Structure 1
Amino acid sequence: MWNRLKAAVMHVSVKERIGIMVLSCMVVVCCLVHRIASCYLAPEETDSLRLKAAVAAFESQLKAYEKDSNAWPARKVYAEHADKQHFNAAISIPSALFYFDPNKMSIDKWQQLGLSNRTATGIMHYVEKGGRFRQPDDLRKIYGLHADLLARILPYVRIPHEITETYKRSDSARPVYRRKSFQVIDINTADTLVWQGLPGIGPGYAGRIVLFRERLGGFYSVEQVAETYGLADSVFKKIQPFLKIGDSSLKKMDLNLSDEKTLANHPYIRSKLAGMIIAYRSAHAGFKRVGELKSLPLVDDIIYRKIEHYIEMP
């Protein structure tokens, strides 16, 4: 039998022998590692009896807590509280409620009501700087005071009557600002002082409007006021509701008798058009009708509709 075994070994190649030896070594190493680990890493034993006792004690405390109708549901705030880091300090279970004046409380007293140290300190700083609670609802302005806690302590607020009455008197004594009323003015007769009585019109605007009106010979339309040099469109829109046209007549020019300087001084004619009018008048022995102005190169329909109000024929 030994001969047969020897013969079988002889048929195995050198590589196969090395592989068998390596595999055998790995098996031995694995067995040793498992044995060593089992010695040093013993599993922790769970004391099931002790765990059951702790669970039972917790359940009994929970039932006693639920029977107490005055228990404060502090953990309800957790889902609503934005700053989880300060949750435990944000709200606590009040040991006892008592009547109090928020203007004369100490930090300790605020904490007895359930406020956190941070919120109580903020209230103290507010009072020390001259702040006052004049009515119970003023407590709603306290930052960090939870709504449930506020509803619990609000009925116990007692502020002296004289402080509340002082607050009411000061509130009623505040001035009531009413919108200033403006009178409607006649744009053809109002002087600079009357113009300054309108919103947004100062001495500068008033003087420009009156000067523009005199050079025109009067306004035939309220919209003409907006053409005043430098008058902002926003200002015109403010004063427009207070403008009207009276019965005064416009100052007109004789198209055939007015000299070139008089014509050129009119805001709607200017010097170039005045020269064309004089030239046309000389070439055609005067104007026969006002409509002839349309034949001049600088007079379009818009210019003509403006000029015709200030031109007269003999």
Structure 2
Amino acid sequence: MMRKNNYQKLAFMIMLLTILLVYQKHTSKEKEPFPEIKFIIDSSVPAVIRDFNPNSLNHKQWQELGFSEKQASTILKYKDIVGGKFISKEQLKKCYAISEEKFKEIESFILLPENHKKSLFKPFKSFEKNKLIITGKFNPDHYSTADWIKMGFSEKQADAILKYKSYLGGSFISKEKFKECFMISSDHYTQLAPYLILPSETPDNLKKIIKNHYSEKSTMQHQPFDPNNLGLQEWQSLGFSEKQAQIIVNYRDRNLHGRFESLEDFQKCFVISAEKFKELRPYITLTASLAKKENIQQQKTDFSKIDLNEITFKQLLEFGLDEKSAGSIIGFRKKLGGFVTKQQISDTYNIDKEIVQKLLDIAPLDPSAITRYSLNDAPEEWLKNHPYFKYSADKIIFYRITNPDDKKIWKFLKLKPEYEERMKLYLK
């Protein structure tokens, strides 16, 4: 038994020494550095990225730039909050869904100015009405009505631009000729010029061709005509441009109450040059015009039965208002969507208040047909265009996202009592 115990003790001692040697050897070695860990991250930017206007991107296109579905939704919601359009890179950068690193990756491709002075202190101000959406260089000869509308023009403006191109022979020819389009304002041309794929100036030989074309038109033979019976197409067939024809018709219908009563009336139209009048004079017939004038004078309007929300421009002239006053009343009524009180008519700018007051004393006003909304359900376009709402439109749109209650929205707006009172004329 003793021998067995001695063996066990010896085995234990050997095992203990072995453990001590191994531990000493391990602690004597220098510690090796922990291996560096590198994470492989897929690039958040597509392999090929082009210049883009963030105002033109939809949900899917934001995702194609490397944003998640939730981030894309947040960016689009943020765009609505700031007025429906991003006006600068600085404004876009403030969107919390776009990290600083991500913004640096896409910054050089963004087609927006670096900053916008107005945006620094008007967070709810809409983008300028005349600001166009231009995605890159383009040839205007290839643009359709839909393309011009997408850029920011109205349907009527787009049609007029295409008619002007057709008038030039199917091509705008040069930036010089494109600028002459009456529908392109100087502000619009300044924005468009750097992107137009057109020669800067019209070639000299082409100028001669156009000049000869007009000369041939001016020497054409005419048939007798009554200027009171001609429409736009007939005036153009006499050698006038579409714009000149429209001015002549407007001059006749608005300034002369629908009729040229004499050759002198015809000659006074400023788009009819002395040479053109001399060319047309032998063919002008104004027979029976006096009889028609007498017939018109016999037609009297009973203004006690004419609703002020339905009275026409000609009827206002008949009552005794001048064109400026009549135009102001009709224009203001159209913007409002109809008058609710007679005081609104009296407060209209550029009117003869004495004559207007006489009209208000005679004619009735019926506001029952006016469309009214609540602040919560009013269409955005209506809010932004209505004279009484447009300066608060962006705030109303912003507040009603989280507070769809009229009373709370009024509380947030903090308007002067007189402003609130006139806005409520058009609310339910």
| TM-score, normalising length: structure 2 | 0.27
